[in-house]
Amino acid sequence: MILRTQKIELNPNNKQSTLMSQHAGYARVAFNFALSSFNAGLEVDEWRTYQDIKREFNAVKRDRFPWCDGLSQNASKNAIHNFGDALTRWKSKQNRFPTFRKRSGKCSYQADNGVGTVEVYKKRIKLPKIGWVRMREALRFTGEVSKVVVSKRNGRWFVSILVRCDSSNYTHQPTLFDDKQPIGIDVGINTLATCSNGVKYENPRPLKRYQRKLRRANKALSRKSKGSQNWQKAKKRLGAVHYRIGCIREDTHHKASTAIVKRASAIGIETLNISGLLKNRRLAKALLDSALSGFLTMLKYKADRRRVSITQANRFFASSKTCSNCGHKKTDLTLSDRTYHCTGCGFECDRDLNAAINLCPV
Ligand SMILES: [Zn+2]
């Protein structure tokens, strides 16, 4: 059995989108109820499990939240389960202690009631208490639908569907090119990816245009007084720009990573300096770096699906400073040096290409 997720945009009518908002609100209320109940338990030295909390919630919900009657109880049930998972992760030190969900925060809820409880037919999905909602595209995978999460972003509704696929249908994807070779990849700001075979994947031009828009939207927001009507509007506008940038970036990353993995027999990548990133106070730069680590993650899972081995270089490996011809290490390389010129052997080559060759496996 193989698990696959697909996120699809929904095309709900007005009534349906109102209902989805109400369900997301219900999930938020249930999660916050669970958190305060757990905190109250801690005060009297009692460890309440999520099962205890669920029982408590079900006993009082009709009195305290009478409006929940027309809604699917899966929303609250799954929210309390999620709280339980968050507690487990906190206990095993994977996460910080859960915090209360805000009305202005993420708007989402889990709609299913276990494996096989939500029906998907062509470009439609049947959500409990909401009915058949149109989807922008059909589900790509065949199998049992096991988890359905509805979420809202930038005024649009999405559904993320987890499918349990029969593994015999998905052994591995076919080999498409005969001339496969090991490829090293250098990722960067101006050029998204430089491959050791000389192929470059540029970042698309709209990205730069939207970077400027982002800066302007940020400035506009900072000029408004916090919490005011105009501040809310500016915040929405900023969110829209972020969303657009995210979409363009994700699209580029998908296209480049698929193209690379299709042609590679083995892949070598670098390790991005994430701790260095946290010290960086410039927001835009930090966002970009996290986007690059997202690109590397994409390369990893796509390589894995095609059974292409992937090696990640040691964090301290100086792929840019080392000469790919003789191994000489240059200590005075600055970011503005676009060409690598080796003082040891006289080798000269594009800076990113030199790094990519260094990262190439074998
Ligand atoms: Zn050299």
Q: Separation of 219 CA from ligand 1 center, angstroms?
A: 46
CA 339 to centroid of ligand 1, rounded, Å: 13
> What span, in angstroms and rounded, lies between the C-alpha atoms of 78 and 61?
15
Whole-model pTM: value is 0.80
Residues 6+ apart with CB under 8 A from 168: none
Ligand 1 center to 331 CA (angstroms): 13
Output the CA 32–ligand 1 centroid distance in Å.
61
- Residue 138 has which token pair? 């059909």
Query: What contacts 16, CB < 8 A, 6 or more positions away?
Result: 130, 131, 133
Distance 330 CA to ligand 1 centre (A): 9
- What are the tens digits of pLDDT across the range 72-87? 999 999 999 999 999 9
State the pLDDT at residue 127: 96
Q: Which residues make beta-bridge pairs with 184? A: 268
**Which structure tokens are listed for 171?**
């052994």
Q: Give ∠ CA 59-65-68 in degrees, rounded to 5.
A: 95
With pLDDT > 70 as the criterion, what percentage of the chain qualifies? 92
- The 10s digit of each residue's pLDDT in 3-42 is 889 999 999 999 999 999 999 999 999 999 999 999 999 9
> Ligand 1 centre and the CA of 256: distance in Å?
30
Distance 340 CA to ligand 1 centre (A): 9
Residue 283 has pLDDT above 70, yes or no: no
The torsion region of residue 95 among left (phi > 0), alpha (psi -120 to 50) and beta comes to beta
Residue where the block lists tokens 């006289």: 346
Q: How far is the CA of 322 from the centre of ligand 1 (A)?
A: 8
SS3 116: coil
Q: How far is the CA of 357 from the centre of ligand 1 (A)?
A: 13
The confidence score (pLDDT) of residue 172 equals 56
The 3-state DSSP class for residue 56 equals helix
Asked if pLDDT for residue 228 goes beyond 60, the answer is yes
Q: Which residues pair with 4 in a beta bridge?
A: 163
Separation of 360 CA from ligand 1 center, angstroms?
A: 17
Q: How far is the CA of 189 from the centre of ligand 1 (A)?
A: 25
Distance CA 170, CA 304 (A): 13
CA of 295 to the centre of ligand 1 (A): 30
Token readout for 195 is 């491959």
Phi/psi of residue 10, nearest 5 degrees: -95, 155
Mean pLDDT over 238-249 rounds to 90
What's the mean pLDDT in 271-287? 58
Distance 343 CA to ligand 1 centre (A): 7
Task: Give 358 Cα–ligand 1 centroid separation in angstroms.
Answer: 12
User: DSSP characters for 196-234?
Assistant: TTS-EEEPPHHHHHHHHHHHHHHHHHHHSPTTSHHHHHH
Query: Measured in angstroms, how far is the CA atom of residue 325 from the centroid of ligand 1?
Result: 5
Alpha-carbon dihedral of residues 292, 295, 296, 299, nearest 10 degrees?
-160
Task: Supply φ then ψ for residue 340, to 5 degrees.
Answer: -90, 125
Please report how many Cα atoms fall inside a 13 Å half-sphere around the Cα of residue 19, on the Cβ side.
17
Q: Are strands 131-135 and 124-127 parallel, antiparallel or unpaired?
A: antiparallel
Q: Is 49 helix (H, G, I), strand (E, B) or coil?
A: coil
Q: How far is the CA of 186 from the centre of ligand 1 (A)?
A: 19
Give residue 209's pLDDT.
86
List, for residues 139-185, the tens digit of each pLDDT value.
998 899 999 999 999 889 999 999 998 776 655 556 666 778 999 99
Alpha helices (runs of H) in the chain, residue ranges in sequence order? 14-43, 50-64, 74-91, 205-223, 229-263, 274-279, 283-305, 351-359
Contact (CB, 8 A) for 255 and 204: no
Q: Is the pLDDT reported for residue 274 higher than 60?
A: no
| pLDDT classification of 284: cutoffs 50, 70, 90 | low
Give buried/exposed letters for 166-193 (b at 16+ CB in 10 A, else e). Answer: eeeeeeeeeeeeeeeebbbbbbbeeebb
Tokens of 75: 């929303």
How many angstroms separate the CA atoms of 352 and 14, rounded?
50
Question: CA–CA separation, 159 vs 120, rounded Å?
Answer: 11
CA of 341 to the centre of ligand 1 (A): 8
Look up residue 213 and give its two tokens.
Answer: 């828009």
The tokens for 161 are 């569907």
> CA–CA separation, 74 vs 130, rounded Å?
12
CA distances from 70 to 13, 23, 128, 260 (A): 18, 10, 11, 50
Q: How far away, in angstroms, is 284 Cα from ligand 1 center?
A: 35
327 CA → ligand 1 middle, Å: 6
Q: What is the pLDDT of residue 224?
A: 94
Report how far residue 145's alpha carbon sits from residue 4's, in angstroms, rounded to the nearest whole number: 10
How far, rounded to the nearest angstrom, does the alpha carbon of residue 338 sit from its chain's CA centroid?
A: 32
Distance between Cα 285 and ligand 1 center (Å): 31
Cα of 329 vs centre of ligand 1, distance in Å, is: 8
**Distance from Cα 187 to the centre of ligand 1, integer Å:** 22
Task: Please report the pLDDT score of residue 63 as a whole number.
Answer: 94
